[in-house]
């Protein structure tokens, strides 16, 4: 069976210290028919110098430099310059198992209904020996993606799907751009598959984009997704309402729990004199 070229797209912004570890996991792939495009997204660190070492090490590595435009822009730029039939996005601080492509590529080759193939993941801190969490996604169609993003960003997919949906949404600068891409692809009738093996390693960082999205932008980004793909949520209106009201109930329960905590009550007592003074000053 013909082995198609896989284009691995590695955007890098302020992650030069992790880049070599990520690229080493690419170099060690048992599937050898790949190219790897390192996209320097206007990074102020020494990404360019690190990338140059890898480009000189193996001709399958290529380097692309652009002005900072965000993760979606960097991925789109890399894919636009790629030659592969399949695309694999890989963040510069994450790693893939050396069997990743060997295990996932045949799935796309053998089933034309598949657009995306993903796998189980392990979250780690500092090094691959420090595993903190294991992720086992499920599902096959967009129905499983409506309320939870089952697919990691580092999932293998057909380049033609990226072309049909016109790439990653570059207005989504606060995260979940991969979730949007998966919905855009699968709602057109394509399926996805999960290989039930741990083949991807996600670096858990306190300053990661995912953490920032969850802590500061989750509601606004989900609102954008719901409106952009509203036909899917309208079609599944009952489930949509169930999930939304569950989120509201969970948020309210969290607020009640905080207000009933000893720490909150103590802080309220401590702040009472300051609130009194503030009222006097403001008069």
Q: Note whether residue 1 is domain-resident.
A: no
Query: Residues 228, 109: one domain?
Result: yes
Query: Residues 102, 77: one domain?
Result: yes
> For position 244, what pLDDT does the model report?
84
Domain with 259, as residue range(s), is 238-282
| C-alpha separations of 111 from 1, 104, 158, 203, 213 in Å | 14, 12, 12, 31, 34
Check: CB of residue 193 under 8 Å from CB of residue 140. Answer: yes
Query: Residues 221, 243: one domain?
Result: no
Helices (H), ranges, the chain: 16-27, 47-57, 71-80, 100-110, 159-164, 177-186, 209-212, 218-228, 230-235, 237-259, 262-282
> For position 68, what pLDDT does the model report?
97
> For position 176, what pLDDT does the model report?
94
> For position 271, what pLDDT does the model report?
56
> For position 7, what pLDDT does the model report?
98
> For position 249, what pLDDT does the model report?
81
Q: Note whether residue 180 is domain-resident.
A: yes
- Closest by CA to 93, choosing from 204, 181, 7, is 204
Q: Note whether residue 246 is domain-resident.
A: yes
Q: Whole-prediction pTM value?
A: 0.86
> For position 248, what pLDDT does the model report?
79
Provide the domain count of the chain: 2
Query: Residues 165, 257: one domain?
Result: no
Query: Residues 140, 278: one domain?
Result: no
Could you list the pLDDT tens digit for every one of the 283 residues in the chain? 789 999 999 999 999 999 999 999 999 999 999 999 999 999 999 999 999 999 999 999 999 999 999 999 999 999 999 999 999 999 999 999 999 999 999 999 999 999 999 999 999 998 888 999 999 999 999 999 999 999 999 999 999 999 999 999 999 999 999 999 999 999 999 999 999 999 999 998 755 555 555 566 788 999 999 999 999 999 999 998 898 888 778 877 666 566 666 654 555 555 556 555 566 666 5
Query: Residues 161, 267: one domain?
Result: no
Distance from C-alpha of 280 to C-alpha of 5, rounded to nearest angstrom: 72
Longest dimension (CA), the chain: 81
Query: Residues 69, 89: one domain?
Result: yes
Query: Residues 278, 189: one domain?
Result: no
Q: Note whether residue 252 is domain-resident.
A: yes
> For position 86, what pLDDT does the model report?
98
Query: Residues 273, 205: one domain?
Result: no
> For position 250, what pLDDT does the model report?
80
Query: Residues 181, 224: one domain?
Result: yes
Check: CB of residue 197 under 8 Å from CB of residue 119. Answer: yes
Query: Residues 140, 264: one domain?
Result: no
Q: Note whether residue 190 is domain-resident.
A: yes
The CATH number given to whatever domain includes residue 80 is 3.90.550.10
275: three-class secondary structure by DSSP: helix
- Closest by CA to 98, choosing from 168, 34, 151, is 34
Q: Note whether residue 75 is domain-resident.
A: yes
- Closest by CA to 116, choosing from 59, 52, 170, 160, is 160
Query: Residues 230, 249: one domain?
Result: no
Which tens digit of pLDDT belongs to each residue from 61-118?
Answer: 999 999 999 999 999 999 999 999 999 999 999 999 999 999 999 999 999 999 999 9
> For position 129, what pLDDT does the model report?
86
Q: Note whether residue 41 is domain-resident.
A: yes
């Amino acid at each position: 069976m013909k082995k198609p070229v896989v284009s691995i797209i590695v955007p890098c912004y302020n992650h030069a210290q992790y880049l070599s570890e990520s690229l080493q996991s690419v170099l060690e792939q048992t599937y050898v028919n790949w190219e790897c495009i390192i996209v320097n997204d206007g990074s102020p660190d020494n990404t360019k110098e690190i990338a140059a070492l890898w480009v000189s090490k193996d001709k399958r590595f290529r380097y692309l430099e652009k002005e900072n435009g965000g993760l979606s822009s960097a991925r789109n730029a890399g894919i636009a310059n790629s030659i592969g039939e399949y695309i694999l996005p890989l963040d510069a601080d994450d790693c893939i198992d050396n069997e990743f492509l060997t295990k996932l590529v045949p799935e796309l080759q053998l089933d034309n209904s598949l657009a995306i193939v993903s796998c189980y993941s392990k979250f780690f801190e500092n090094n691959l020996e420090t595993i903190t969490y294991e992720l086992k996604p499920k599902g096959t169609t967009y129905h499983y993606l409506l309320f939870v993003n089952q697919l990691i960003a580092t999932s293998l997919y057909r380049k033609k799907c990226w072309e049909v949906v016109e790439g990653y949404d570059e207005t989504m600068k606060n995260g979940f751009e991969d979730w949007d891409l998966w919905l855009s692809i699968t709602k057109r009738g394509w399926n996805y598959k999960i290989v039930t093996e741990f083949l991807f390693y996600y670096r858990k960082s306190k300053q990661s984009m995912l953490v920032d999205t969850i802590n500061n932008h989750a509601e606004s980004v989900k609102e954008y997704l719901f409106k952009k793909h509203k036909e899917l949520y309208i079609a599944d209106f009952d489930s949509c309402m169930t999930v939304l009201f569950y989120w509201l109930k969970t948020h309210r329960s969290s607020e009640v729990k905080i207000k009933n905590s000893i720490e909150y009550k103590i802080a309220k007592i401590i702040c009472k004199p300051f609130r009194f003074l503030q009222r006097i000053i403001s008069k």
